[in-house]
C-alpha cells in the first residue's frame, strides 16, 4: 500500500511518505490549495477498479462537507481516480 495525496485542481499527486500529511506538505510547498488536496491509498497489486481507497485523516473537512476520513463525494472520488489513473497508467 502506498499513501498519496492528489490535487484535483492542478491534477497532480505526491506519493509515498509515512503519513498522508508528508505528501500534503510537498504539494502545499508547490503552491497547491488545501481545499483541492485529498488523501488516498493505492494498492498497486489489485485490479485497476479496486486499487484506490479514499481514506485519510487529511480528508476530514467539515467546512467542505466531508466529516469522515473517507471521501464521500462521488464527484471528488471520480476526480481523484482520474488524476491517479492518468499519472500511473
72 and 60 in contact (C-beta within 8 Å)? no
**For residue 23, pLDDT beyond 80:** yes
Q: What pTM was estimated for this model as a whole?
A: 0.94
pLDDT at 43: 95
Domain locations in the chain as residue ranges: 2-88
pLDDT at 48: 85
38 and 8 in contact (C-beta within 8 Å)? yes
CA distances from 83 to 23, 52, 67, 73 (A): 15, 12, 23, 16
Residues ≥6 apart with Cβ < 8 Å to 45: none
Closest CA to 60 of 37, 41, 42: 37
**For residue 87, pLDDT beyond 90:** no
Amino acid at each position: 500500500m502506498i499513501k498519496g495525496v492528489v490535487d484535483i485542481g492542478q491534477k497532480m499527486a505526491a506519493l509515498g511518505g509515512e503519513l498522508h500529511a508528508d505528501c500534503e506538505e510537498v504539494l502545499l510547498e508547490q503552491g497547491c490549495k488545501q481545499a483541492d488536496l485529498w488523501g488516498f491509498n493505492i494498492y498497486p497489486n489489485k485490479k485497476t477498479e479496486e486499487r484506490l481507497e479514499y481514506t485519510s485523516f487529511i480528508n476530514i473537512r467539515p467546512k467542505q462537507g466531508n466529516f469522515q476520513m473517507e471521501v464521500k463525494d462521488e464527484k471528488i472520488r471520480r476526480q481523484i481516480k482520474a488524476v491517479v489513473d492518468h499519472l500511473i497508467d
